[in-house]
Amino acid sequence: MTLQTSAVRSGGPRLPAPRGPLSERLLAWFRMAAGPLPSPEEVGRADPYGADAQLALYVLYELHYQGFEGVADDLEWQPALLAVRRCLEETFLRALHSDVPPVGLPEAMAGLLAEPATAEGRSVSHYLQREGRLWELREYAALRSLYHLKEADPHAWVLPRLRGRAKAGMAAIEFDEFGAGRADHIHARLFADLMADLGLETAYGHYVDLVPPEALATVNLMSLLGLHRSLRGALIGHFATVEVTSSPGARRLAEAMRRTHAGAAAERFYAEHVVADAVHEQVVRREVVGGLLCDEPDLEPDIAFGIGATVFLESRLEGRLLTAWKEERHALQASLPPGRIPQRNSI
């Protein structure tokens, strides 16, 4: 039996444009499998939340998902690339541990369950529900596509690392995320349908060149926590944050899609999450988080950190979007092409 180790990905996402020296060297290496790679010192000098470092981390993580057109599949486990990824991850984690205040898990969970009274003024979902315009909804969907077209995938990596109640609860929610056995109900597919309603390209990773670094960071956090068994507690914290806070925000976004006549599929994606995530929230708190704490109580600080890191990065992204939109500016790196939005009756 001969093992193929140099298969090159045909089709699939194209390599993005570099955003600085780190990503430029990595992308050149992807094409040539040779040349200088970023040194630990260079990584250490880069802004951990900046576009260059976040894009570098993103392209390295994508080798574990769908790869890139023209890039050899076996680069996924290339030792030199893994060494660079490790440096980037350590820098990212140090920054998060420095910027996320340590709190106990009960306090962290309570913060997710009680939406603060001040949220309306600094929440993207409140803004879009109340006054969001169609071009802003299109920008939001484009930048969120990097997240939602892979939403359940990094969470699935934790399944072999759980047992008992936590594993059963996690598997039940993931089953729903992956369409409960129906390909047309996979949540990533539903989001692609939403994008089509908004006249956007639906290909996986299509908008990577347009998204700001704050959006890359939210996607990279999922991959970072999912790929490391040592961070399984933090991944559960991330998962809990997504599921517990999703339903109210999804209701507001469904109303925004309805108000702007964005289309049936656009409204459906968020409407489905209102119901599904209200159920998921109970399973996450009682079975996934509760079950993991019964099995591994020492992971409680890690779960709290996962919650805090997720809230911190999402808040940075929301600040970026709201500041731009309220100043009548595009939140993306460049404006979206017009696209073809289906004509709809506004009555």
User: Low-confidence residues of the chain, pLDDT below 50?
Assistant: 1-4, 117-118, 345-347
Residue by residue, DSSP assigns 228-248 as -GGGHHHHHHHHHHHHHHHHH
3-state class of 297 per DSSP?
Answer: helix
Closest CA to 143 of 193, 213, 222, 235: 213
pLDDT value for 116: 56
Q: Could you tell me the CATH number of the domain that includes residue 148?
A: 1.20.910.10
pLDDT value for 10: 64
Residues 39 and 172 in one domain: no
Residue 108 belongs to a domain = yes
pLDDT value for 343: 59
Residues 234 and 278 in one domain: yes
Q: Give the span between the Cα atoms of 51 and 337, in whole angstroms.
A: 22
Spatial contact of 262 and 134, defined as CB atoms under 8 Å apart: yes
Q: Give ∠ CA 197-200-189 in degrees, rounded to 5.
A: 65
Q: Give the span between the Cα atoms of 198 and 213, in whole angstroms.
A: 23
Q: Domain range for residue 110?
A: 104-326
pLDDT value for 1: 36
Closest CA to 55 of 95, 30, 27: 27
pLDDT value for 274: 81
Residues 304 and 170 in one domain: yes
Number of independent structural domains in the chain: 2
Q: Give the span between the Cα atoms of 134 and 141, in whole angstroms.
A: 11
pLDDT value for 346: 44
pLDDT value for 341: 63
Residue 279 belongs to a domain = yes
Question: pLDDT, tens digit, for every residue of 295-344?
Answer: 999 999 999 999 999 999 999 999 999 999 999 999 999 999 887 666 55
